[in-house]
Every structure is written in C-alpha cells, then in structure tokens.
Amino acid sequence: MPPPPEDDGSSSARTPLIPPTPPPPGRAVARLHPLPLLVAAAFAASYHLLVAPAPSYYRSLFLSLGSNDTAAAHLHALTLRPHLAGTEANARAAEHVVSALSSLSFPTRVVPYSVLLAYPVHRSLSLSAPGHATTPFALVQDTYPGDPYAAVSAEAVPTFLAYAASGSVAAEAVYANYGRPEDFAYLAARGVDVTGKVVLARYGKVYRGDIVINARKAGAAAAVIYTDAKDYAAGEAFPDGPWMPPTGVQVGSTFKGVGDPTTPMWASSEGCERVSIPEAMATDDMPGIPALPVSGRDGEAILQLIGGDVAPKDWQGGDGSPVYRLGPGPAVLNLTYIGNETMATIQNVISVIEGKEEPERYIILGNHRDAWTFGAVDPNSGTAALLELAQRFSELQKKGWRPRRTIILCNWDAEEYGLVGSTEWVEENRAMLTSRTVAYLNVDSAVYGAGFYASATPQLDELLKEASKQVQNPDNETQSLYDLWMASDSSSMIKIGRIGGGGSDYSAFVQHIGIPSIDISMGSEYAVYHSLYDDFVWMEKFGDPLFRRHVAVASMWGLVALRLSDEEILPFNYSTYAVELEKGAIDINKRLLGVPVSSSPLQKSIAEFKRAALQMDSEMKALQTRKVWNPWRNNPLKVRDLNERLMMTERAFTDREGLSGRPWYKHLIYAPSLHDDYGAQVYPGVDDAIQMAERTNTSESWRSVQHEIYRIARVINQASLVLSGGLT
C-alpha cells in the first residue's frame, strides 16, 4: 500500500479539528504514556518506507507495460472516418475516447463549448491567359486503386482554408514565394505591384494564416497556396512512398487568433457575452480576403502561365519544375469562395486520476482529437498514445499505485481551427489552473517518423533528458531515446526547442497563464500533412509500421508525468532557465548595437535571477540530502513552500497587460513570432518593437524598444522574488 498522506500544511491535506467528546460523569479516563506512542509512530513510518513500493518501482513497471497492439487498435478505431471538429464523426471519436478512459475506472466527463467554426459552401478556381483555353481546376484529392478508405473519403471536407473571406476575384496572378514579409518586400523592390492581384504562394516556411494576411496587407485581392514538389514531393508519392501525391492538398485554418473568435479574451461558456459573427470575421486576426489551397499539380500549372521577370534562385522549384516567374500575369485566376461561419458544439474529454497526498496539485496531459481528414498522424497518433498510456496507469493502480498529485488526462477538440477547445477550457478555469497546476505535458502528433523531438519551458529540460535515458529507442533496442536524441543533432548536443509558437494546445497554458510545459514527438514533419492521405495506411507503411514509436512516446510522456506527480520535491531546474534568458539577451544586444537603447535593466534582472536559481538549487540539495539520512524527518511545510516557489515562478513571467497589440499573450519571455504563428520568439515584445523601430527609425519607436526591455526586466525580477521566496 502507498504511504498515508502527510500533513503538508494545506487545508485539503489536514484532518478536520473535531472537539473531543468529554467522558461521562464519574468515569475515569485512561492516560497513555507518550513514549510508547512515539515509538509506535516511528515504527509505523519506517515500516511504510520499507514495505511500500517506491515511486521508482512504479516507473519501472510503467515502462514494462507498453503495448504496441493497444496503440495500433486505438489509432485504427479513431481513423475509420474523417472527423472534423463540429461533425457527427468527431462526436463519435469523442465517444471512443470517453469509453476507453471510463473502462479504466477513471472518472471521465465531456465538457462542451459552443464556438465559431467555418465550413466551405462553394469553391471554384480557373486559370486563363491570352492564347490559352480556360482551365477549371477540380479541387479534388484523388483516391488510389485499392484505397481501403475510398468510400468514406467522400465524407472529408472539401479542400478549403477555414475563415477565409467569402467573395469572387478575377485578376492577374503574382508569385510570392513563401508569402513572408520579406518576399512581399522583394516584390515591391522589383516593382511588382500586388495591389488587386491574386497572390500565388507556396507552403513551407510560415503559418498559412500569415501567408494570407501578408498578401492582404500587400494589397492583394485574393490568395492561393500550393504544395510545391520541392518541399512535399521529393520522392515516391503515397501509396508507394511517403510523399504527397500530385493532387494532394494541405487544408487548414487561417485564423491568427486563439480560441473561439466570438469570445476573445474570455471563455465561451453557456450564456456568455459574445461579439457577433460579422464582428469576429472583421478583426485583423482573420485573413480578410478570399483564399484557397491547391495541389502541387495545380500550382505548377499556374506557374507555367505566369510571366514577368524570372524569380530568384531560392524562389525556384526542384528538378523538373518550370521556371518560376514573378508576374503579374499574363495568367489570370478566377477564384470564388463561399464559406459558412457558424456556431457549432465541440467536446473536450477530461479524465481524472486523483492524487493521494496532494490532490489539489495538477499534472495535466493533453492531446487533441479533431482532424481535417483521417488524422492518423495529426493528431490521433497522439490520441492513441494517450489512451495506451492511460491503460498503463490503470495497471499501476491495480498494483497499489496512487499518484501523490492529481493527474488529469485531456483530449481537446477544435485545435485545428485555432487551439479552440484547450483555450476555452483554460480561460474558463483560469483561476483554478493558475493556482494549482504544476505542469502541462502536450503531445499533438505523437509520430511523424524517425527521430525524437522535444520543446519545453527551460526548467523542465533536465527532467526530459533524464527521462529519455530510461526509455528504449524504438528503432534500436541497444540504445535509449536519449541516444537517438543526441544523434538527431549534428552538434552532438541535445536540442530542446522552446514553447513559444502557436502551433499546439500548450499555447494557452504557457503563453496565457504561465504553466511550465513540454511538447514531444517522434519525428517532426511529414509530407501528407493535413491532406486526405494522412490515414492509417500511411502510418502503418511509413510512419510506424510496428507501432513501437507510439509506445516510446507514451513511455516518455507517462514517465515525465510520474516523476512530476510522485516525487516529493518537484524535479525543476531553474539554472537552465537562467542560461536561456542569457542567450536571448545576447541576441537582443546584437540587434541594439549603435542604437539609443540600453539593455542594462535586462542584464541586471538576469543576474538576479541566476542568484535566485543557485539559492533554490542549494535548498533542494539540502532537503534531498536530509531525506536520504532521515527519510521521515523532512518538514512537510518546508517541502510545500519550496514546491510552491518552483511551481509559481513561471507565472511571474506573465504580465496582465500582455504583449503590446497582442494582449491575449501574457508571457513576456516566450510567444509566437509576430509574422509567423508557428515560430517561437524569445522576448517577443522586444522583438516586435525592434522590428517596428527598424522600419520607422523614429525616436519614439526606439523609446518603445526601451520600454519593452524594462517590461521584461520587471517580470524577471518578479520571477526572482518568487523563486527565492522573499519580499523586498
């Protein structure tokens, strides 16, 4: 049996104080001598320590229970049909998740929200040019001979870009490379006028919503985005190989905001305040112009008829591609898109494994369920890993395990539209989550292919490294996941990304309320992303034929959760955070050379944070040493205080006003890049201000840069105070 809960000083861990019942009149009261009681208590404590399995026992047992068959069975069941958010098929997928978790005796519930989603009503695109017949594009992804999903493929949503503006445009085409700000700047420098034109850009470097918004800001009337063979079809196409077929199309959202567009900054709860749908669609976070995605084959057909100057070498396609030219014209694109933006019900699934000693402390594991098509990689490889992991937790419970802290398993909905389900839940539960959550552990797509990849807030770096040494490399039984991770980087150093991008459900946890977080996967990219071909066949043939990679991700995910839930002292390391703050400051200093801005406030705040981190390291070592020599003598109030500081330091990096112009993003250390929602930016407020100052070069703009430096210095100083546990 696990040891009894300790009195850690919190109200939920204390036994209620009940006045003793006085003895009846005239009855003597027996008095027990205190010495035997103390001896008995000491013996009981030591007995429990000697016979109760240690947390390491349950971690080893957890790793031994991995099941390839369980992961494969869940993935197959989840990907039988396309299951877009707001559809009946996705509701059935939610039922599968609820059934799987409930069967393990975990209390499980569905949390619904009414949110604004978008679906296509009508799409058309045709190409014409002088001397050429008009070519209408089918805008259909072809199935292949023997495709087991051919019949249900008709249920997949037609190729579209969610939240694109409805309208019709007929205009000359302009080629804009990857649609980045620098690409449009190059066109302007070459004298290519984008105003009123239809921009053709290729996927690959930035978020699709940024491509369309950048086109709108450049004056374009509409946008078309295609999958270039150079990036997505560099080998044999599916089903013979893993690459995108000629008619494959990447669909997706173009909303640059986060959560339900009708409830910006607050939760989409029943009866809540909302902005109207026209108001929501008119914000700068929406694309604002009609747009469509097309296949590589259709994109190449358009490029063959675009004239004008030859595009630069790095704008060209791969071997065998036509020469890419800038335009405008003579190719003319006639584009129509009619969308239906409507309120729809989405369903988060929440399952709870209640903690024994600290039930009011949460370790949250999350993955989303909704997919643009079948979703075998994105996201249901992650859902399958979550359910396989849950099965192992259930087996641990049968062996007597109960976590010290509460573990919450979350399966989000409508992530693909703009991280909607997770954001609404975080906004609705903000106060509870900010006061009680230890960490959020995210897996979006568990398996893309080979290699191991991880991103984290820096205090979790060492925990990730330690855990990876205990998990077997799924592709080489003689190695650990750590060995694979090391080999994946040419510098022979572990590379951990930062959770600053807006690409998955960690966003609300880190960037809005300041929760320490991680995100892990096997592999990082795959060619059939968001297309009809992201199905079980692709995964079984190319992604993970033996489903060992699914098990490896579940092992890593669960092992980190067990360490965080069961260890008495939280395994955080803020010295690593100090190093990362310094690295970010070095980059800022380089960009400030020769300008009237001082980074001194930032440098001073980082130095103070380093001192606080070293002090915390010393305190943790002292407690751990005392625990080794006197296992039952650790002061629970001291442990509780230390854990509170470790947990709450990340919150101190947030600011209630948020980033300038982007108030939902409260974290001043990590947030998405202003011009690429997928890209993680360190010190995003400073970066935004520097970009503006470099464009305008006014004294006021450089004063804004200085102001942003003071802002991040202030939150780092706040974090130092929390970590050190003192007041000024």
Of the candidates 683, 283, 423, the one whose C-alpha atom is nearest the C-alpha of residue 674 is 683
Strand 222-226 relative to strand 291-294, pairing: parallel
DSSP lists the bridge partners of residue 111 as 348
Q: Check residue 631 and give its pLDDT.
A: 59
> Can you tell me whether residue 597 is helix, strand or coil?
coil
**689-725, pLDDT tens digit by residue?**
999 999 999 999 999 999 999 999 999 999 999 999 9
Query: For residues 685 and 661, what is the distance between their CA atoms, to the nearest angstrom?
Result: 9
**Across residues 508-535, what is the average pLDDT?**
97
Percent of the chain topping pLDDT 70 = 91
DSSP classification of residue 377: T
Least Cα distance to 186 among 298, 75, 314, 372 occurs for 314
Burial class (CB in 10 A: 0-12, 13-18, 19+), 579: middle
- Categorise residue 219: left if φ over 0, alpha if ψ from -120 to 50, beta otherwise: left
Cβ atoms 190, 166 nearer than 8 A:
no
Residue written as token pair 């992604």: 543
The confidence score (pLDDT) of residue 500 equals 85
Q: What six digits make up the tokens of 287?
A: 């694309």
Report d(CA 162, CA 340) in Å as an integer. 9
- Band the pLDDT of 624: cuts 50, 70, 90: confident
Q: At what angle do helices 68-78 and 88-102 cross, to 10 degrees?
A: 150
**pLDDT for position 183:** 98
Q: Which one of 172, 388, 415, 427 is the catalytic residue?
A: 415
- Considering the four listed CATH numbers 3.60.70.12, 3.10.450.50, 3.10.129.10, 3.50.30.30, the one that applies to the domain covering 118-340 is 3.50.30.30
Query: Contact 55/61 with Cβ under 8 angstroms?
Result: no
Closest CA to 392 of 63, 55, 94, 52: 63
How far is residue 92's CA from residue 78's CA, in Å, rounded to a whole number?
9
pTM passes above 0.85: yes
| Phi, psi of 146, rounded to the nearest 5 degrees | 85, 5
Name beta bridge partners: 408: 352, 364
Does position 47 have pLDDT exceeding 70, yes or no?
Answer: no
CA 74, distance to chain mean position in Å, is: 22
Please give the average per-residue pLDDT across 233-241, as a whole number.
Answer: 96
Determine the Cα angle at 311 with ends 305 and 312, to 5°: 160
Are 363 and 438 within 8 A, CB to CB? yes
Mean pLDDT, the chain, as a whole number? 92
Whole-number CA gyration radius for the chain: 28
Q: Measured between alpha carbons, how far is 424 from 114 in angstroms, rounded to an integer?
A: 10
Reply yes or no on whether the pLDDT at 680 is more than 50.
Answer: yes
- Band (69; pLDDT cuts 50, 70, 90): very high
Helix (H) / strand (E) element for 25: namely none
Using the structure block, give the residue that is written with the tokens 């369980």: 70
- Structural contact between residues 222 and 205, judged by C-beta atoms closer than 8 angstroms: no
Report the C-alpha gap between 501 and 674 in whole angstroms: 10
Give the whole-angstrom CA distance, residue 674 versus residue 499: 15
**Whole-angstrom distance, CA of residue 247 vs CA of residue 245:** 6
Residue 350 near residue 410 (C-beta atoms within 8 A)? yes
User: In the structure encoding, which two tokens stand for residue 339, read together?
Assistant: 């969308």
If you average pLDDT over residues 50-73, what whole number do you get?
90
Q: What is the DSSP string of 620-661?
A: HHHHHHHHHH-TT---HHHHHHHHHHHHHTGGGGB-TT-BTT
Q: What is the pLDDT of residues 638-666, one digit of tens each?
A: 999 999 999 999 999 999 999 999 999 99
Q: What gap in Å lies between CA 447 and CA 547, rounded to an integer?
A: 9
CA angle 409, 554, 105 (to 5 degrees): 40
pLDDT tens, position by position, 247-261: 999 999 999 999 999
694 is catalytic: no
Location of each CATH 3.50.30.30 domain in the chain: 118-340
15 has pLDDT over 90:
no
Q: Where do runs of H (alpha helix) occur along 545-629?
A: 548-566, 574-591, 600-629
| Residue ranges of the chain that CATH labels 1.20.930.40 | 574-724
Average pLDDT over residues 155-169: 98
- According to the model, what pLDDT value does residue 674 have? 84
Integer Cα distance of 133 and 127 in angstroms? 8
pLDDT confidence tier of residue 53, bands split at 50, 70 and 90:
confident
DSSP state of 447: B
Note the pLDDT tens digit of each residue in 265-310. 999 999 999 999 999 999 999 999 999 999 999 999 999 999 999 9
312-348 residue pLDDT tens: 999 999 998 999 999 999 999 999 999 999 999 999 9
In this prediction, residue 630 carries a pLDDT of 67
Task: Say whether 476 sits in a helix, a strand or coil.
Answer: coil
**Range name among 90-99, 654-663, 671-680 with the lowest pLDDT average:** 671-680
Give me the CATH topology for the region 574-724: Transcription Elongation Factor S-II; Chain A (1.20.930)
The label of the residue with tokens 């100052």 reads 693
Domain spanning 82-107+354-524+536-566 has what CATH number?
Answer: 3.40.630.10
Q: How far is CA 643 from CA 64, 148, 156, in A?
A: 30, 52, 48
For 2, residues 6+ apart whose C-beta sits below 8 A from its C-beta are 52, 53, 356, 400, 401, 402
Is the predicted pLDDT of residue 625 greater than 90, yes or no? no
**What is the residue-wise DSSP string for 397-425?**
HHTT---SEEEEEEEES-HHHHSHHHHHH
pLDDT of residue 634: 65
In one letter, which amino acid is 96?
Answer: H
Average confidence (pLDDT) over 85-104:
98
For residue 45, the model assigns a pLDDT of: 42
Q: State the CB neighbour count (10 A cutoff) for residue 111.
A: 17
HEC string of 494-553 equals CCCECCCCCCCCHHHHHHHCCCCEEEEEECCCCCCCCCCCCCHHHHHHHHCCCCHHHHHH
